[in-house]
């Protein structure tokens, strides 16, 4: 596996898993415990590893349901991971003390997709933005709230103090949400499709606000979206997710211009390309996303993959690794390419089959976990 740990990694996500028990109701769960059946799990996030560096914007892309939101919520501890770990400033969150968790909470914030839902309808703008300060007993409330609102370009700030969310437009609400996320002066922010519910005309303003956060104040941002052209504009690096796993990650330009994974290629071809001279054939994403409860063996993309190369795809989970033919830190999870140490997965599989044991590390054992 290829985790080049950067010195300036703020967050290190290692093999993060979040499985949700399929809620079948209490009668079914009693029946299950009597009959000894295992309950079903939705494999929302299924072994994801990446670093978030200081001051960078990392994009998480992928189709609906691939686990982007679940990953983002796990990053800010809205979900307790069912496996793996997150390190914050080198400190594991799994065995963090209460005090450490509190400090983490002060430094991890999230902006949600729906600005109509992410503000309490019965709380004024002032109380909403001041709430994190009160929770963490931070003094100088009024001045800080005012500054946060000013940063979010809600001017004059005092005029917004006593307004209720229903008196604000969608764009203003999202700015209030941003002010609330900023008021604790966090290290990083997870922005889950922050403009997808806004009017197109309002998006640019909110986006430039998010850019100012990173440019002027060096915040790290995890930007979740399925709009690749937007991510291209916003992000330093990208991670492409499919069915709870990262299939490709690397610097944004490299991924957009030179996608390696067949899924990334399909995604990029599915979005309108802004430059007309970059001629690409358009591919519609055909087929259905696989079953997230009964995870298929081998590569999760195999049923939709145009480059399917037989048994190795069917049986071996492709590890996310750097490949021999791509420069830089781009990592791909696909058997098409030779890994950076020169092993050709398909070849190795054929040999492994004849020796009847393939020992390529944990990632490439057949997956029926």
Partner 1 sequence: MAQEESTRSSVFADVEEVSSSDEINKWARTARLWRETLKEHWSLLTDELSVRLSMLMVAFFVLVAIFAPFLAPNPPLERQYQTEDQILIEKWAEPSIVGGDSGYLLGTTAEGFDIFSQLIFGTRAALLVGIIAAVFTAGIGTMVGLVAGYYGGTVDDALMRLVDFLYGMPLLPTVIILVALLGPSLWNIILAVIILQWRATARVIRSQALSLRERPFVKAAQVAGASDWHIISRHLAPNVLPMSFLYGSFAIAWAILTEAGVSFIGLGDPNTVSWGTMLQASRAYSALSFGAWWWFVPPGICIGLLVISGFLIGRGYEEITNPKLQ
Binding residues for partner 1, rule: CB under 8 A, are 26, 54-55, 73, 76-78, 89, 102-103, 105-110, 112-114, 117-124, 126, 131-132, 135-136, 139-144, 147-148, 151, 161-162, 166, 177, 180, 182, 184-185, 187, 216-219
Specify the DSSP element, H or E, that contains 134: helix 125-135
226 binds, among Mg ion, ligand SF4, ligand ATP, none (CB under 5 to 8 A by kind): ligand ATP
Binding flag, residue 68, ligand ATP (CB under 6 A): yes
Q: Cβ neighbours of residue 112 under 8 Å, at least 6 residues apart?
A: 118, 177, 192, 194
Contact segment (CB under 6 A) with ligand ATP among 27-35, 65-73, 126-134, 256-264 equals: 65-73
Q: How far apart are CA 186 and CA 194, in angstroms?
A: 17
Q: Do residues 86 and 13 lie in contact, with contact meaning Cβ atoms separated by under 8 Å?
A: yes
Find the angle CA(221)-CA(225)-CA(229) to the nearest 5 degrees: 100
Q: How far apart are CA 319 and CA 126, in angstroms?
A: 48
Secondary structure in 3-state letters for 220-250? EEEEECCCHHHHHHHCCEEEEEECCEEEEEE
Binding flag, residue 64, ligand ATP (CB under 6 A): yes
Q: Which of 114, 217, 130, 139 is nearest to 180 (CA)?
A: 130
Rg value, the chain, Cα? 22
The nearer residue to Mg ion, 81 or 319, going by C-beta atoms, is: 81
309 binds, among ligand SF4, partner 1, ligand ATP, none (CB under 5 to 8 A by kind): ligand SF4
Binding flag, residue 299, ligand SF4 (CB under 6 A): yes
Positions 23 through 52 that interact with ligand ATP (CB under 6 A): 42, 44
Q: Give the residues lining the site for Mg ion (CB under 5 A).
A: 69
Contact segment (CB under 6 A) with ligand ATP among 8-16, 59-67, 101-109, 145-153 equals: 59-67
Binding flag, residue 66, ligand ATP (CB under 6 A): yes
Residue 199: Cβ within 10 Å count: 10
The nearer residue to ligand SF4, 123 or 367, going by C-beta atoms, is: 367
Binding site for ligand SF4 (CB under 6 A): 261-262, 299, 301-302, 305, 307-309, 313, 318, 334-336
Binding site for ligand ATP (CB under 6 A): 20, 42, 44, 62, 64-70, 226, 292
């Amino acid at each position: 596996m290829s985790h080049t740990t950067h010195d300036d990694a703020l967050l290190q996500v290692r093999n993060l898993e979040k499985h949700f028990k399929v809620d079948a109701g209490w009668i079914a769960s009693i029946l299950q415990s009597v009959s000894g059946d295992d309950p079903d799990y939705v494999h929302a996030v299924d072994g994801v590893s990446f670093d978030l560096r200081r001051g960078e914007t990392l994009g998480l892309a992928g189709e609906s349901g691939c686990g982007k939101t679940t990953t983002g919520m796990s990053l800010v501890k809205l979900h307790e991971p069912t496996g793996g770990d997150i390190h914050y400033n080198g400190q594991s969150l799994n065995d963090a003390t209460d005090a450490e968790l509190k400090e983490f909470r002060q430094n991890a914030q999230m902006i949600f997709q729906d600005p109509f839902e992410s503000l309490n309808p019965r709380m004024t703008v002032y109380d909403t933005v001041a709430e994190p300060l009160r929770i963490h007993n931070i003094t100088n409330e009024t001045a800080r709230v005012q500054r946060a609102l000013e940063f979010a370009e809600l001017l004059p700030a005092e005029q917004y103090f006593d307004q209720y969310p229903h008196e604000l437009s969608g764009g203003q609400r999202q700015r209030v949400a941003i002010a609330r996320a900023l008021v604790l002066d966090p290290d990083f922010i997870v922005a889950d499709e922050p403009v997808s519910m806004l009017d197109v005309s309002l998006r640019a303003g909110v986006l430039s606000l998010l850019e100012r956060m990173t440019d002027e104040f060096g915040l790290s941002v995890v930007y979740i979206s399925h709009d690749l052209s937007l991510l291209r504009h916003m992000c330093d690096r990208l991670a492409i997710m499919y069915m709870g796993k990262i299939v490709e990650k690397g610097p944004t330009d490299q991924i957009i211009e030179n996608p390696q994974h067949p899924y990334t290629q399909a995604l990029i071809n599915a979005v309108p390309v802004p430059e007309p001279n970059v001629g690409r054939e358009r591919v519609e994403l055909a087929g259905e996303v696989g079953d997230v409860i009964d995870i298929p063996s081998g590569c999760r993309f195999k049923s939709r993959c145009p480059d399917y190369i037989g048994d190795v795809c069917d049986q071996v989970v492709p590890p996310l690794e750097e490949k021999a033919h791509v420069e830089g830190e781009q990592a791909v999870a696909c058997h098409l390419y030779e890994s950076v140490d020169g092993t050709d997965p398909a070849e190795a599989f054929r040999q492994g089959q004849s020796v009847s044991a393939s020992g390529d590390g944990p990632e490439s054992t057949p997956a029926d976990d």
